[in-house]
């Protein structure tokens, strides 16, 4: 029988303080995987981007360099994961395979590309998400949905 996993999904709004706090909280709560949207990052297109390095966690970033990543994973070192072959080059969507669990996690930050007029939201981009999802797939993310029920200023 496989060991259970605890997964936490959160948007840290590019805050270094928040991401450090969430990583420490993950240790205290025995969280195995963090799906983070809008992470604090450092780097450039030429050098590549990364976020904070944290003990016991490996950082998994989208395979994309043109924009800073807006969806990343932190995974405990003891959890066997790989970047999924279906994870396309998009800074706002990353797909990982959990090999031991025969499962897949998708982390999405649903937004348009910054500084590109008329760009599509992530979930509307051709090929950003696989057309067919295996039944053992979990989609996590900040879907930036706005509706008058939970946002009185939404149209």
Summarised one tens digit per residue, pLDDT across range 55-112 is: 899 999 998 877 899 999 999 999 999 999 988 889 999 999 999 999 999 999 999 8
Can you give the pLDDT at residue 2? Answer: 57
Q: How far apart are CA 5 and CA 109, in angstroms?
A: 22
Spatial distance between the Cα atoms of 131 and 129, rounded to a whole number of angstroms: 6
Q: Is the pLDDT of residue 124 over 80?
A: yes
| % of the chain residues with pLDDT over 70 | 98
pLDDT value at position 29? 96
Sheet holding 103-109, edge to edge: 81-83, 93-98, 103-109, 137-142
pTM, to two decimals: 0.91
Share of the chain above pLDDT 90, in %: 65
Q: Does position 13 have pLDDT exceeding 90, yes or no?
A: yes
Looking at residue 27, what is its pLDDT?
96
End-to-end CA separation in angstroms for the chain: 48
């Amino acid at each position: 029988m496989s060991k259970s996993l605890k997964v936490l999904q959160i948007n840290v709004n590019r805050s270094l303080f928040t991401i450090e706090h969430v990583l420490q909280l993950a240790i205290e709560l025995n969280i195995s995987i963090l799906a983070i949207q809008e992470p604090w990052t450092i780097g450039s297109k030429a050098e590549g981007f990364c976020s904070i390095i944290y003990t016991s966690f490996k950082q998994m970033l989208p395979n994309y360099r043109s924009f800073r990543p807006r969806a990343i994973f932190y995974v405990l070192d003891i959890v066997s994961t790989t970047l999924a072959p279906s994870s396309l080059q998009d800074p706002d969507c990353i797909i990982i395979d959990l090999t031991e669990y025969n499962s897949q996690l998708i982390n999405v930050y649903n937004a348009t590309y910054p500084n590109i007029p008329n760009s599509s939201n992530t979930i509307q981009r051709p090929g950003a998400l696989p057309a067919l999802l295996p039944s053992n797939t979990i989609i996590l993310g900040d879907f930036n949905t706005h509706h008058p029920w939970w946002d009185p200023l939404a149209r």
